[in-house]
Amino acid sequence: MAVRTFAAIDVGSYELAMKIFEISKKNKLREIDHIRHRIDLGTDSYASGTISYENMDELCRVLKEFKEIMKTYGVSAYKAYGTSAVREMRNMLIVLDQIKQQTGLEISVLSNSEQRFLDYKAIASKGEDFNRIIEEGALIADIGGGSIQLSLFEKDTLVTTQNMRLGVLRLNDSLQRLNPKRTQVHELLREMIDNQLAVFKKLYLKDTLIRHIIVVDDYVSMMLQKRALDGPAPGYVDRETYGQFMEQADHYTNVQIAERLGISEENSNLLYISSVITAQVMDICGANMIWAPGVTLCDGIAYEYAEHTKLISFSHDFEQDIIACAKNISKRYMGSRKRSDTLESIALTIYDSMKKIHGLGKRERLLLQIATRLHDCGKYISLNNVSECSYNIIMSTEIIGLSHTERVIVANDVKYNHLEFSTYGELSEDENIDHDGYLVIAKLTAILRVANGLDRSHKQKFKNIRAQLKDQELLLSVDSSTDITLEKGLFRRRADFFEEVYSVRPVISKKQG
Amino acid sequence: MAETVDFRNPAYYTNRELSWLLFNRRVLSEAKDKQNPLFERLKFLSITASNLDEFFMIRVASLKDMVNAGYKKTDIAGYTPKQQLTLLEEETHGLVKEQYAVYKRSLVPQLKANGLRIIEHHEELTKKEGEYIDRYFADNVYPVLTPMAVDSSRPFPLIRNKSLNIGALLQKKGGKEGLEFATVQVPSVLSRIVALPSDDGNMSVILLEEVIERNIRKLFLNYDIVCAHPFRIMRNADLTIEEDEAEDLLKEIEKQLKKRQWGQAIRLEVEEGMDERLLAVIGRELMISAEEIYRINGPLDLTFLMKMYGMEGFDELKREEYTPQNHPMLPPDADIFEQIKKGDILLHHPYQSFTPIVDFIKTAAKDPDVLAIKQTLYRVSGNSPIIAALAQAADNGKQVSVLVELKARFDEEHNIVWAKKLEKAGCHVIYGLVGLKTHSKITLVVRREEDGIRRYVHLGTGNYNDATAKIYTDTGLLTCNEEIGEDATAVFNMLSGYSEPLTWNKLALAPLWLKQRFLYLIHRETEYARSGSKGHIIAKVNSLCDRDVIEALYEASCAGVKIELIVRGICCLKVGIPGVSENIQVRSIVGNFLEHARIFYFENDGRPEIYMGSADWMPRNLERRVEILFPIEDEELKAQALHILESQLKDNVKAHILRSDGSYVKMERRGREAYSCQDAFCREAKEAAKEVKAAAEGTGRVFIPEMHSAE
């Protein structure tokens, strides 16, 4: 049958959710069920790094029920992801193993950037609207329970993405401690949100005009999808209408909001908070249209599955977003665009020529590409201590779409570009990295080093390099007109490491003209 | 002006118990109605009797609890529980008098005229008949009797709720001691009606208690019988407080529980002319007060008339039994899934057969493409084919989830039995929700088809009970509309304990948003009327006693909305109050079938909306039950639904009109042609089925080429 049924499970911090999808060429992703169960894993996990016995019990019980529900739809594949609450459990591996033993379900853990990347893919699954809107410039406000993620798009490219601890439930907790009057709530929320947003604006937005904001949340999305506010299409509302709604909402009680929108009272409170966040985000970027595509992480999970299994092909190139993101980080730290381009070109040429030997794939190529982009970002802080500084910058910057391990790989490539390479024992002491990860770091570092060596003068002499694998040698040839004395002289040490890793000796040669 | 009227003024409301008694009087009027076949009248009278029994056990008992607990909160009409009881006493005594007047003055003589003699007193038996009866007593009755005497060593026996007994005063033969009390239960295992042999084609019957009374001395051989009379008691046996009452009451009762006499007798029916000494003994032992005693001029417990209705023969005195017809879209051999795919189907039971609904589940159970079946079950018939089909589905590897409502009144035990049966078969059974009764009627079938999952949904106003579906008028919708399918899935997710969906497409659910939805719909008419458009509401419900809804209707009436209500039973709304309810008409249809469907029409400024659902306009439906309201959106189906409402409004045979003084009267026909909507629906269903059948059979040997229809 041309239709495949897939289940996407999101073990969230405050909610356990499952969506059932039908994936087919014709209808692409069709959601057929959305089951949600409130369970507060976050409070436990954030405070004590554990999960209580009761929660564990409940979690397993509901997951088992999910399995039964999957059967009712004849689900043929599933993917389950845990997000921040699971991520922050000290005994995460034990918990995941227990869940597997009890329910038979395997849960993977997403880093924040992976999670947001999936959310972003979820939006992209809405196809044309997405392409059009990011072309015109947009700010994605991904509003979660614990934090929000702002991702800025200019002309189809992702400029930056930042996480802020301003999640709906987190703000609600803070509010409840203050126990304010209804009329004070908006002002209080504004105070809590605004200073962080102001920093974001100062650093990234400056005076850029952003036409749209794309909202991913559970509440505003629902309201707009329902067309509770007048908009040009489901999910859309313009600045003016939204402003009017906010004015009314400031004076409504939760019960009134609930009645008007047909939602529960508890949700109406959270809706209000989410609305205020949306309004404030709209304010800082001056957008005149809100689009809430009404997607959740589960949509992204399904999108990713459909993409990987090639059940459906999508037009947007997400790798370009990751690279764009890296480019923008580099730009922020005054990295040389030209130099990065050269380095990238050399490194990829070598990588591609070594394919048979390193045995790595497309994803690692992407990591190498990012490493070349970020290889010198530490210079912004210290010219003497570039390696450590670059490493630290990368480790504390979100690169959307990369898992934690992948970020570690990139950061270490950059670090060992200049420093003496460490043994597995040394490296795994500081980093949560396994043998495979270690080898990837070594292999990519070796290539990066050689590439870096070839551009020692920063004059892009080797820009049009050719690489050819011949017996135990990698022949790197440049145009004969170029003076490569400097590169040749300093190349040996870098070549040694390359040889150590690959048993292949890189050799520079001038092409005979 | 509307601002100055307080629509919540208790004077604008009728007490619900009194309104219920009026309903029972309407049923009684059917027993009186000479237009009805004689045996149908027996049936109606029997229904008034069983209705009244239930009323005592539930409503009166509940009020007595409140009085005992010292609860003084007033009802919708401003009465305290004590005041209500006083009002009810008078009314119920009056009602009972009328029941027996109908029985004795009207029915018994006419039965006799039609060849059925009811021998009211055993003294009237002829010698020959007497001998037969005595033999019958010795062979059949005597062995199952358990006479119980009361003396210093034997305490007063437990008289069972609703049982019929014969009490007697005895005197030891030759003794000079005082009188002794004895009682014997009229055994419920034997038929209450004992037929006598006849040779002239006429039939004579006598009631079992008379048979026993005649032979009572055989039970107490060493005694002289001073007197013997039947009596019957009703107990406050229902420990659960009626859900309609406030929760604070429940707490109050808990506190007062010790004070309350559990199982306390609340009604004593005795034969008129019972020996006062005997009555005194019974009254004292049962601690019954004078106003709780009903002296009956006739046989106690008229529910035996239902059995009499079922006696063989007398067909000409009964209504011709109506056979539910096939729905034109659902002939017996139709592929039900294919038919639903062609378009939504509206069913009107019992005019149209309930079989397709049973078949829907049976087919789903066997269909290899069906993945899951989910259903809510409230009251199900014994030996239900639906239960069997669900069990079979589970057996066939389908995922079957069933929500079984155990809290259905009187049915608890019955429900548990088949719920266990389903569980054994491998169904996932949910035993109701905490604090809520699940009253909604919904079935969801998930089927994997060529182009993906398709959901088939049945939504109804009546229970999934193939037996009552022949007597209750209900409507149901079969659809595979995607949005309703999504909502149906969400309903079952919620019933399984998952969160409410972010949005509902089409359905409105109690207790979450249904009341608001109704109030919104009523209010919308008010707004249209105020802005000069035509406002019009037609609502057909079984009961109307929710204060908020009535208030909204009053407000709408004042704004000029035309409101036509078809309320079968309780109606706390008053019509014709100047400045409050002048634009409201209420009618009640009490016919051969029990009116049960709930249908709502809202004019919506020329874009009419029609809804159906499981909920009445009662607080308990809107606040403490899971109910579903569903829209009818297909234009053709909307027309069908509107036709149902319009026919009911046109009825001038079975319709009673509520007057401003609170009484109900039958329509004055004033020369207009008689129109009974139930009869009309029967006719229409037959014609529709006939047309389809004729079309299917064609006209003999001529082939008919298929043509494109004009539409």
The owner of tokens 């249809």 is B589
* B439 annotated active-site: yes
User: Could B371 and A74 be called an inter-chain contact, meaning their C-beta atoms sit closer than 8 Å?
Assistant: yes
Instruction: Give yes or no: residues A71 and A141 share one domain.
Output: no
Strand partners, A291: A214, A236
User: Could B399 and A36 be called an inter-chain contact, meaning their C-beta atoms sit closer than 8 Å?
Assistant: no
Instruction: Give yes or no: residues A260 and A208 share one domain.
Output: yes
The owner of tokens 């893919």 is A121
Q: What pLDDT score was predicted for residue B644?
A: 96
A-interface mutation test, from B446, B456, B498, most A Cβ less than 10 A away: B498
Instruction: Give yes or no: residues A336 and A253 share one domain.
Output: no
Band of pLDDT at residue B153, cut at 50, 70 and 90: confident
Instruction: Give yes or no: residues A92 and A219 share one domain.
Output: no
In sequence order, what are the residues at sequence separation of 6 or more whose Cβ sits closer than 8 angstroms to the Cβ of residue B240? none
Containing structural domain, residue A53:
4-110
Q: From CA B346, how far away is CA B350, in angstroms rounded? A: 13
User: Looking at chain A, which residue has its C-alpha nearest residue B500?
Assistant: A36
User: Could A72 and B446 be called an inter-chain contact, meaning their C-beta atoms sit closer than 8 Å?
Assistant: yes
Q: What pLDDT score was predicted for residue B412?
A: 56
| Minimum mean pLDDT range among A387-391, B4-8, B79-83, B470-474 | B4-8
B19-53, pLDDT tens digit by residue? 999 999 999 999 999 999 999 999 999 999 999 99
Cβ atoms of B363 and B336 closer than 8 Å: yes
Residues of B in contact with A22 (CB under 8 A): 452-453
Q: What pLDDT score was predicted for residue B3?
A: 53
- Of A80, A110, A140, the last residue of a domain is A110
Instruction: Give yes or no: residues A135 and A268 share one domain.
Output: yes
Instruction: Give yes or no: residues A141 and A105 share one domain.
Output: no
Q: Parallel, antiparallel, or unpaired for β A157-164 and A236-238?
A: unpaired
Q: What pLDDT score was predicted for residue A328?
A: 83
Number of domains in chain A: 3
Q: What pLDDT score was predicted for residue B1?
A: 44
Give yes or no for residue B250 having a pLDDT over 70.
no
User: Could B371 and A222 be called an inter-chain contact, meaning their C-beta atoms sit closer than 8 Å?
Assistant: no
Residue A429 falls inside a structural domain: yes
Q: What pLDDT score was predicted for residue B707?
A: 63
User: Looking at chain B, which residue has its C-alpha nearest residue A1?
Assistant: B450
Count other C-beta atoms under 10 Å from residue B35's C-beta: 12
Q: Parallel, antiparallel, or unpaired for β A466-470 and A289-291?
A: unpaired
| Minimum mean pLDDT range among B148-152, B538-542, B633-637, B652-656 | B148-152
B203-222, pLDDT tens digit by residue? 899 999 999 999 999 998 88
Distance of CA A484 to the CA centre of its chain: 40
Q: Chain B closest CA to A73's CA: distance in Å?
A: 6
Residue A309 falls inside a structural domain: no
The mean pLDDT value for B265-274 works out to 91
Residue A490 falls inside a structural domain: yes
Q: From CA A136, how far away is CA A148, in angstroms rounded? A: 22
Residue A418 falls inside a structural domain: yes
Q: From CA B566, how far away is CA B562, in angstroms rounded? A: 13
Q: From CA B10, how far away is CA B29, in angstroms rounded? A: 29
Amino acid making up residue A300? G
B294-317, pLDDT tens digit by residue? 999 999 999 999 999 988 888 889
Residues of B in contact with A259 (CB under 8 A): 516
Say which of A26, A262, A267 has its CB closest to residue B504: A262
Token pair belonging to A54: 């009761």
Residue A308 falls inside a structural domain: no
In sequence order, what are the residues at sequence separation of 6 or more whose Cβ sits closer than 8 angstroms to the Cβ of residue B633? B344, B481, B506
Inter-helix orientation angle A239-251/A182-200, to 10°:
140
> By CB neighbour count within 10 A (0-12 exposed, 13-18 middle, 19+ buried), where does A150 fall?
buried
Q: Chain B closest CA to A82's CA: distance in Å?
A: 19
Give yes or no for residue B151 having a pLDDT over 80.
no
Count other C-beta atoms under 10 Å from residue B569's C-beta: 24
Instruction: Give yes or no: residues A146 and A246 share one domain.
Output: yes
Could you say which DSSP state residue B403 is in?
Answer: E
> By CB neighbour count within 10 A (0-12 exposed, 13-18 middle, 19+ buried), where does A399 fall?
buried
Instruction: Give yes or no: residues A366 and A498 share one domain.
Output: yes
User: Could B452 and A36 be called an inter-chain contact, meaning their C-beta atoms sit closer than 8 Å?
Assistant: no
Q: Chain A closest CA to B291's CA: distance in Å?
A: 48
Residues of A in contact with B372 (CB under 8 A): 72-73
Amino acid making up residue B418? W
Q: What pLDDT score was predicted for residue B264?
A: 80
- The active-site residue out of B439, B536, B596, B656 is B439
Q: From CA A155, how far away is CA A131, in angstroms rounded? A: 10
Residues of A in contact with B428 (CB under 8 A): 68
Q: From CA B567, how far away is CA B317, in angstroms rounded? A: 29
User: Could B399 and A68 be called an inter-chain contact, meaning their C-beta atoms sit closer than 8 Å?
Assistant: yes
Instruction: Give yes or no: residues A285 and A347 share one domain.
Output: no
Count other C-beta atoms under 10 Å from residue B426's C-beta: 15
Q: From CA A489, how far away is CA A493, in angstroms rounded? A: 10
Residue A301 falls inside a structural domain: no
Residue A190 falls inside a structural domain: yes
Cβ atoms of A484 and A428 closer than 8 Å: no
Q: Sign of the CA dihedral A178, A180, A185, A191?
A: negative
User: Looking at chain B, which residue has its C-alpha nearest residue A295?
Assistant: B502
Separation in Å, CA B69 to CA A270, A356, B264, B267, B287? 42, 89, 14, 19, 18
Cβ-count burial B594-607 (b if 16+ within 10 Å, e if not)? bbbbbbbbbbbbee
Per-block mean pLDDT, blocks of 10 residues, chain A (513 long): 86 90 86 89 81 92 93 92 88 92 93 85 79 83 87 80 85 82 83 88 79 88 81 87 87 76 74 91 88 89 88 77 85 85 89 89 91 89 88 86 87 89 81 86 91 77 80 81 75 86 86 57
Q: What pLDDT score was predicted for residue B186?
A: 94
Token pair belonging to B181: 């009390």
Q: From CA A159, how far away is CA A285, in angstroms rounded? A: 14
In sequence order, what are the residues at sequence separation of 6 or more whose Cβ sits closer than 8 angstroms to the Cβ of residue B504? A262, B487, B490, B513
Which helix (H) or strand (E) segment is A418 a member of? none
Strand partners, B374: B401, B444
- Of A48, A76, A110, the last residue of a domain is A110
> By CB neighbour count within 10 A (0-12 exposed, 13-18 middle, 19+ buried), where does A211 fall?
middle
In sequence order, what are the residues at sequence separation of 6 or more whose Cβ sits closer than 8 angstroms to the Cβ of residue B625? B436, B437, B438, B439, B440, B510, B511, B615
The mean pLDDT value for B118-129 works out to 91
B648 or B437, higher pLDDT:
B648
Domains of chain B: 36-317 (3.30.1840.10), 336-499 (3.30.870.10), 510-694 (3.30.870.10)
Band of pLDDT at residue B2, cut at 50, 70 and 90: very low
Instruction: Give yes or no: residues A80 and A149 share one domain.
Output: no
Q: What pLDDT score was predicted for residue B368?
A: 93
The CATH code of the domain that includes A30 is 3.30.420.40
User: Looking at chain B, which residue has its C-alpha nearest residue A224?
Assistant: B503
Give yes or no for residue B697 having a pLDDT over 70.
no
Average pLDDT, chain B: 87
> By CB neighbour count within 10 A (0-12 exposed, 13-18 middle, 19+ buried), where does B33 fall?
middle
The CATH code of the domain that includes A391 is 1.10.3210.10
Instruction: Give yes or no: residues A169 and A25 share one domain.
Output: no
User: Could A15 and B499 be called an inter-chain contact, meaning their C-beta atoms sit closer than 8 Å?
Assistant: yes
- Of A294, A327, A358, the last residue of a domain is A294
Share of residues in chain B with pLDDT > 90 (%):
61
Q: What pLDDT score was predicted for residue B31?
A: 94
Q: Chain A closest CA to B671's CA: distance in Å?
A: 50
Residue A216 falls inside a structural domain: yes
Q: Chain A closest CA to B371's CA: distance in Å?
A: 5
Q: Which of B445, B435, B439, B479 is nearest to B459 (CA)?
A: B479
Q: What pLDDT score was predicted for residue A251?
A: 81
Say which of A3, A35, A259 has its CB closest to residue B493: A35
The mean pLDDT value for B185-199 works out to 90
Q: From CA A74, how far away is CA A69, in angstroms rounded? A: 9
Number of helices and strands in chain A (H, E):
23, 14
Residues of B in contact with A35 (CB under 8 A): 493, 498
User: Could B498 and A218 be called an inter-chain contact, meaning their C-beta atoms sit closer than 8 Å?
Assistant: no
The owner of tokens 């934090």 is A147
Q: Three-state DSSP class for B160?
A: coil
Apex CA B354: angle with CA B353 and CA B360, to 5°?
120
Q: What pLDDT score was predicted for residue B702?
A: 56
The mean pLDDT value for B151-170 works out to 86
Say which of A22, A30, A73 has its CB closest to residue B371: A73
Q: Chain A closest CA to B587's CA: distance in Å?
A: 32
Chain B residues whose C-beta is within 8 A of a chain A C-beta are 371-372, 399, 428, 446, 448, 450-453, 486, 489-490, 493, 496-504, 512-513, 516-517
The CATH code of the domain that includes A214 is 3.30.420.150
Inter-helix orientation angle B677-697/B635-650, to 10°:
140
Strand partners, A473: A470, A505
Residues of B in contact with A294 (CB under 8 A): 502
Say which of B452, B497, B503 has its CB closest to residue A24: B452
Say which of B372, B490, B499 has its CB closest to residue A72: B372
A-interface mutation test, from B373, B427, B503, most A Cβ less than 10 A away: B503
In sequence order, what are the residues at sequence separation of 6 or more whose Cβ sits closer than 8 angstroms to the Cβ of residue A342? A455, A460, A462, A463
Chain A residues whose C-beta is within 8 A of a chain B C-beta are 1, 3, 5, 15, 22, 24, 26-27, 30, 32-38, 65, 68, 71-74, 218, 221-222, 225-226, 259, 262-264, 267, 294
Could you say which DSSP state residue B352 is in?
Answer: B
Residues of A in contact with B504 (CB under 8 A): 262
Instruction: Give yes or no: residues A443 and A345 share one domain.
Output: yes
Which helix (H) or strand (E) segment is B219 a member of? none
The mean pLDDT value for B416-426 works out to 81
Band of pLDDT at residue B408, cut at 50, 70 and 90: low
Amino acid making up residue A132? R
